[in-house]
Structure 1
Amino acid sequence: MTSLLSVDPAAVFDSGRLIAMPTETVYGLAAPINRPDLVARIFELKGRPASNPLIVHVGSTEQARGCVREWPALAQHLAERFWPGPLTLVLPKANHISDVITAGQGTVALRMPDHPVALAILRVSPAPLVAPSANLFTRLSPTRAEDVSAVFDSADVEVVDGGPCRVGIESTIIGLDPATKTLRWLRPGLISQADIRAEMPADWRLELPPAGQEAAPDAPGQMREHYRPIKSLTVVVSERPASAIFASATGEEASWVVLPLPEDAAAAARQLYQALRQADQADGERIGLRLPPGCRDDPAWEGVLNRLAKAATDWRDECDPVS
């Protein structure tokens, strides 16, 4: 691992290696957008399909404007309101943005991370950086430097330790269509629908995916199975304590790793991936997680529920038996 003061991004990239950089959401596996060889290396190391687009990380709104064909007033307003921060904007891409980055689509996803180390790297980087989560595809996202080092070899990836990530889940993603004045809700995160609606002009509308359907795969994080631990994960929404739920399920409490998660949504998001990672390493065959009954009606839980819906192999309500 490397501290910020001793890493030279240009030198790392010139050596053919990637940088695992900390952000406020998760650690990202970074490469300059103008280095197709390194961008391809991200897909190779992660086992990521070419159909899954990447988010371009920028150090300024000026850099963001240089990546798009059109930058509407609402994009500027949202950037001023939420950047640096966990919001990704999807806009019509500029011609020089590679189709490899956008998975052949005509849009590009952009974000300015809210982490001093990430911003320092971006400001000395030769170009904006693509930086998907520094994990193997569909597995748990890393929120600590050691999580990355456990997966990738130092010969391939320079890990910059910026401490634990304070948000803990990936950014909210929205698409902007200037022609129709439509915002598309693509992936929930810490920033909620209510946060976005509060900033929208009256002549724009927010389009949500139909109930029970995924958003179209024109942004990262749209796979049905994602963010998964190695062990099977059962989620139960219940007023009862988790120990009672999973002990009574089989009569063998030791077969479950009961996952403690705070009842505050922001704290739960911050701890989620690390708690699942620790559960994977603990004794026990399966992971059991209990959620408070009011979580589905609380907008603050939307991002956590989205990640758990993709991570879980089984999801039950209080009335459903757990076996």
Structure 2
Amino acid sequence: MTIVIPMKAGPDKRLKVAARLIREGKLVAFPTETVYGLGADALNEKAVRRIFEAKGRPADNPLIIHIAEREWLFELAREVPEVALKLGERFWPGPLTLVLPKREEVPDITTGGLDTVAVRMPAHPIALELIRLSGRPVAAPSANISGKPSPTEAGHVVDDFYGRIECIVDGGSTPIGVESTVLDLTGDVPLLLRPGGLPLEEIEKVVGRVEIHPAAKGIEADVAKAPGMKYKHYSPNAQVIVVEGSREAVQKRIDELVQEFRRKGLKVGVMATEEHEADAFFHLGKTAEEVARNIFRALRELDKAGVDVIIAEGIEEKGLGLAVMNRLRKAAGYRVIRVQG
């Protein structure tokens, strides 16, 4: 039996029920400003193991720990450099995850067997209040079956986990729509492991030069130092193809592909910033912020429409566009068509 708790965006006494479940080692899905998370007590090995089992998540794919106060960082990380404090002061609460050397108290299962720990302080008021009320750091990957599109609405979590977890807190649609930005601070220069809800350009204003891991650009990593680096992610049941290039050339190629697939007897869905004739169409919006907010919903809705192929429009890799393209390329299994013109 799964409890679904509907509530507004602020603190609510019903959250005490969800917080008690966290303390008891149960699983609770809740909204953050990025996507919905599937939460458990990060220091409870048995509870964390249930996250991996529920999601079907590989054991070497580390989890991000969510905290409610900056001071909690010192209870999880063995070393906290000045740059981490500077970033925390500027961007927490917010969609930034910091990777630091971990304390022994953090179970290996939570960190995927690594000697580092990934920590963030979410900005969503429901998430913050839930963590505060539980009094526990909360490990919370996205609340979806591993490899499938991330959830940006409680209904997505219901589709994947109803009857399999103890509680779902319904806080409406998540405002950002892509996961947090992950920054590794264990080296001499900050290293971007995963682009996300905080644009790289904003981080560079604070810390200067940031190196970019190949996985952040869409190349699979050998070792997953952060979620989304190593395994197939964000994929619907339908085949996804991403079309990248100049705007006019992309729109033309999308129309051509729709016709090509239809001639083969396939049902085609399109997700783009401009209208296209297809068996199913999802308008992503005009700005990178709108596209980020909509891509996972688009993938899920086009899948529900029963299409065989989803053709997705690529966007410029600036601001949130870097995170959008990271997600789209992974959703497509790197099936990318680049057009000129």
Structure 1 residues without counterparts, runs of 5 or longer: none
Matches within 5 A, 1:125-136: 125-136=134-145
2:225 matched to 1:218? yes
Cα distance in 2 between the residues matched to 1:53 and 1:183: 19
Matches within 5 A, 1:179-190: 180-190=187-197
- 1:220 deviates by 1.0
SS in 2 for 1:148: helix
2:80 maps to a residue whose letter is W
2:64 matched to 1:41? no
2:211 matched to 1:207? yes
Matches within 5 A, 1:103-252: 103-154=112-163, 156-177=165-186, 180-200=187-207, 205-210=209-214, 213-215=219-221, 216-237=223-244, 238-239=247-248, 240-241=250-251, 244-250=255-261, 252=263
1:120 maps to a residue whose letter is E
Residue deviations 1:55-98 (CA, integer Å, cap 9, x gap): 00000101112111111111111011111111000001111011
Does the CA-based 8 Å contact 1:261-1:268 persist in structure 2?
yes
Cα distance in 1 between the residues matched to 2:80 and 2:284: 40
Q: Give the match for residue 316 of structure 1.
A: 337
Cα distance in 2 between the residues matched to 1:192 and 1:290: 20
SS in 1 for 2:160: coil
1:307 maps to a residue whose letter is R
Describe the shift of the 1:156–1:32 C-alpha distance in structure 2 as closer, same or farther (beyond 3 A).
same
Q: Give the match for residue 268 of structure 1.
A: 291
SS in 2 for 1:268: helix
Q: How much is the aligned-residue C-alpha RMSD, in angstroms? A: 2.2
2:302 matched to 1:279? yes
Q: How does the TM-score come out when normalised to structure 1?
A: 0.90
2:5 matched to 1:2? yes
Aligned partner of 2:320 among 269, 289, 300? 300
Describe the shift of the 1:16–1:103 C-alpha distance in structure 2 as closer, same or farther (beyond 3 A).
closer
Describe the shift of the 1:138–1:81 C-alpha distance in structure 2 as closer, same or farther (beyond 3 A).
same
Describe the shift of the 1:319–1:10 C-alpha distance in structure 2 as closer, same or farther (beyond 3 A).
closer
Q: Give the match for residue 274 of structure 2.
A: none
Q: Give the match for residue 71 of structure 1.
A: 80
Q: How does the TM-score come out when normalised to structure 2?
A: 0.85
Runs of 4+ in 1 over 3 A off after TM superposition: 13-16, 210-216, 240-243, 245-248, 250-254
Q: Give aligned pairs, total.
A: 312
Cα distance in 2 between the residues matched to 1:162 and 1:299: 26
Describe the shift of the 1:251–1:93 C-alpha distance in structure 2 as closer, same or farther (beyond 3 A).
closer
1:256 maps to a residue whose letter is V
Q: Give the match for residue 257 of structure 1.
A: 269
Does the CA-based 8 Å contact 1:190-1:266 persist in structure 2?
no
Describe the shift of the 1:246–1:5 C-alpha distance in structure 2 as closer, same or farther (beyond 3 A).
farther
Describe the shift of the 1:155–1:5 C-alpha distance in structure 2 as closer, same or farther (beyond 3 A).
farther
Does the CA-based 8 Å contact 2:267-2:307 persist in structure 1?
yes
SS in 1 for 2:191: strand
1:6 maps to a residue whose letter is R
Residue deviations 1:88-110 (CA, integer Å, cap 9, x gap): 00001111011111111111000
- 1:285 deviates by 1.6
Cα distance in 2 between the residues matched to 1:186 and 1:227: 17
Does the CA-based 8 Å contact 2:238-2:307 persist in structure 1?
no
Cα distance in 1 between the residues matched to 2:195 and 2:203: 11
- 1:23 deviates by 0.2
Structure 2 residues without counterparts, runs of 5 or longer: 7-11, 272-282
Does the CA-based 8 Å contact 2:292-2:320 persist in structure 1?
no
